[in-house]
Amino acid sequence: MIKIKNLSKVFWKDSEKVEILRNLNLEIKEWSFISIVWPSGSWKSTFLNMMSWIDTDFTWSLEVFSFDYKIKNENEITTFRWKNISYIFQNFKLIDNLTVRENIDLVIELNDLERNFSTLEILKLVGLETKADNYVFNLSWWESQRVAIARAFVWKTKLLLADEPTGSLDTKNKKIIMDLISSLHKKTKNTIVMITHDDEVAKISDIVYKMNDFNLIKS
């Protein structure tokens, strides 16, 4: 279970205090798929960075599967993050001069991670089995998005954080991507926290929350 208690986040911009979260409380059950509908440009990526302790400048309590970053050192936090948290980034964060196969295998090989699927299995599931040895710079935006999804699901993690995984797709392709993520979630049984600005996209998850006045309201 993920437990967030009284979580607050502020920062200073041009001598002005900017408040992002105020006393946010949330519990997420293991294996669940939740969506948070969050307005575009409203620090949604910052929240995901807090959930993975990339950003630790906040108060008060954040516990992910009994792991409390406050009592751990930086090496322990980094190891936990690699072993237990995967990401679908809004801008994909693929390495252009590596092949599709190399992009998927790199993190696993560097960190000795346990797989859910072989590389070819996951590429077949996302419809890219013929693109394994293509360089990322030769892929379409649509294909790059599928590589990012494949990379997030290929190894065994407890938590997957997804930042606007449907991007600027049209309605038809949004549904294809969300059906793909839902299908992979059922196969891997990890916990997914997805942030989106799109109410329709959010409906595919088990539970939907909306950001409202610095806190989350269950829809």
Query: What is the predicted pLDDT for the residue at 68?
Result: 72
Token digits for 92?
A: 């994909």
Query: What is the predicted pLDDT for the residue at 193?
Result: 96
Residue ranges, the chain, pLDDT below 70: 41-42, 59-61, 69, 71
Query: What is the predicted pLDDT for the residue at 71?
Result: 64
Domain boundaries, the chain: 2-218
Which residue, 135, 34, 152, is CA-closest to 90?
152
pLDDT tens column, 52-95: 888 877 766 677 777 776 767 888 888 888 889 999 998 899 99
Q: How far is CA 166 from CA 50, 136, 142, 185, in A?
A: 22, 19, 10, 16
Query: What is the predicted pLDDT for the residue at 149?
Result: 95
Matching CATH number, 2-218, of 3.30.70.1350, 3.40.190.10, 3.40.50.1700, 3.40.50.300: 3.40.50.300
- The CA angle 43-172-200, to the nearest 5 degrees, is 45
Query: What is the predicted pLDDT for the residue at 53?
Result: 81
Token digits for 100?
A: 């599709």
- pTM for the whole structure: 0.90
Query: What is the predicted pLDDT for the residue at 136?
Result: 97
Q: How far is CA 115 from CA 85, 191, 213, in A?
A: 13, 16, 40
